[in-house]
Amino acid sequence: MRNVSIIGIGQTRVAEHWERSLRHLAGDAVLAAMKDAGIETADALYVGNMLSGLLTGQEHLGALVADFVGLRGIEAVKIEAACGSGAAALRLGYAAVAGGLHDYVIVCGVEKMTDTVNAETTTGLMMAADADYESVHGLSFVSINALLMRRYMYQYGVEHKDFAPFTVNAHRNAAGNANAMFQNPVTAEQFAHARMIAEPINLLDSSGIGDGAAAVVLCPTQIAREYRRGGLVHIKASSMATDAVAVHDRRDPLWLSAVEASTAKAYQQARVGPRDIDFFEVHDAFTIMSALSLEASGFAERGKGVWLGQNGDIVREGRIPICTMGGLKARGHPVGATGVYQVVEIVQQLRGEAGPNQIGNARLGMAQNIGGSGATVITHILEAQD
């Protein structure tokens, strides 16, 4: 298979874009990525999205967005894997280029979660869980994560305040990201006293939902240099793994086996281990997901993920910086777009274009996008190309 590079990136700010429809948001990101890459057409467009049908009455986003950006006629399709839709689209775009089906593939993640008319966003998000065995009991997506967090605290003797560093770090980093939804710093004190959502998860444990789109342009590494002199990024690994959708069906609710499997495959493909990763865009939909992801990805022992925050390991200057542009928590979590945002932000870091958030010696970045509470996990390892 061929090596694949990212030659262009684009993104909108994550916000309540009441003046922009779904297609406008996607269009903004795709056209920015095409401009950044210096291409005027492409072979295919893969759109990651979860909620457009329920919330805006629009499916068929592939053809819709392709036409809107002036690419009428090309192969175009929507990919869905709950909140992992964005990275799932990237995974299939990567496969198409690596396998030789296409030379130029645009991957766009887009979500319109506010100003919706057809259904409530909370209802929409619950479609990531098991409709027959979880949603039917009145669980919300926050409450599923609350059950996990409560169990974690009980089993490992952790207190709620111990999760504060994840939120403080995310907001600190978002303050330096003009595309982030919440650019305000947050203190551990504010975290401790935030409004309760589903005990023990409070408002500041939770990522912010918003509207947004992000896009990347892929092509074979061999011809990537024709498009960019510097700033080339190589996809060193791409992997996906799954688990039971319903939490009660898993062997151990506190061990994200799909994270473990997806990360292991990615490490193997890239021939690296967790120690080689310079920074990690974690799927921090809730603080508990950060802790669990860090453990199953090999950055902390079981039950110790939360202490990476307390030890200062996760900040930009730390051992394994996470959420360097604000993460889902503070950049915002437009669910089907998030996986592409993560990768766009890694490219910013690897290019040295992360502004005030630039981390030192950024050579190898890992993005991990999760669908549901750990049922679909897509991991990408990206490397700065010389």
Residue 26 as a binder of its own copies (CB under 8 A): the answer is no
3-state secondary structure of 46: strand
CA–CA separation, 229 and 12 (whole Å): 25
Catalytic residue at 323?
no
Q: Which two structure tokens, joined as six digits, stand for 12?
A: 């909108």
Cβ neighbours around 114 below 10 Å, total: 15
Nearer to its own copies, 91 or 380 (CB): 91
How many positions of this chain bind its own copies (CB under 8 A)?
64
- Residue from 126, 224, 322, 382 in contact with its own copies (CB under 8 A): 126
x/- contact string, 67-86, with its own copies (CB under 8 A)?
x----xxxxxxxxxxx----
Residue type, position 114, single letter: T
Residue 28 as a binder of its own copies (CB under 8 A): the answer is no
- In the bound complex, what is the minimum distance in angstroms from residue 334's beta carbon to its own copies? 15
Residue 54 as a binder of its own copies (CB under 8 A): the answer is yes
Q: Which residues of 306-339 are buried (b: 16+ CB within 10 A; e: fewer)?
A: bbbbeeebbbbebebbbbbbbbbbbbbbbbbbbb
What contacts 195, CB < 8 A, 6 or more positions away?
202, 203
**Which residue matches tokens 């330096």?**
176
- In the bound complex, what is the minimum distance in angstroms from residue 175's beta carbon to its own copies? 33
Residue 371 as a binder of its own copies (CB under 8 A): the answer is yes
Residue 211 bridge partners (DSSP):
15
DSSP secondary-structure letter at 182? -
Catalytic residue at 333?
yes
- In the bound complex, what is the minimum distance in angstroms from residue 89's beta carbon to its own copies? 9
Q: Which candidate in 17, 102, 333, 380 is catalytic?
A: 333
Residues identified as active-site:
83, 333
Residues that bind its own copies (CB under 8 A): 1, 21, 23, 44, 50-51, 53-54, 56-64, 66-67, 72-82, 88, 91-92, 95-96, 98-101, 123-124, 126-132, 135, 239-245, 249, 257-258, 261, 371-372, 375-376
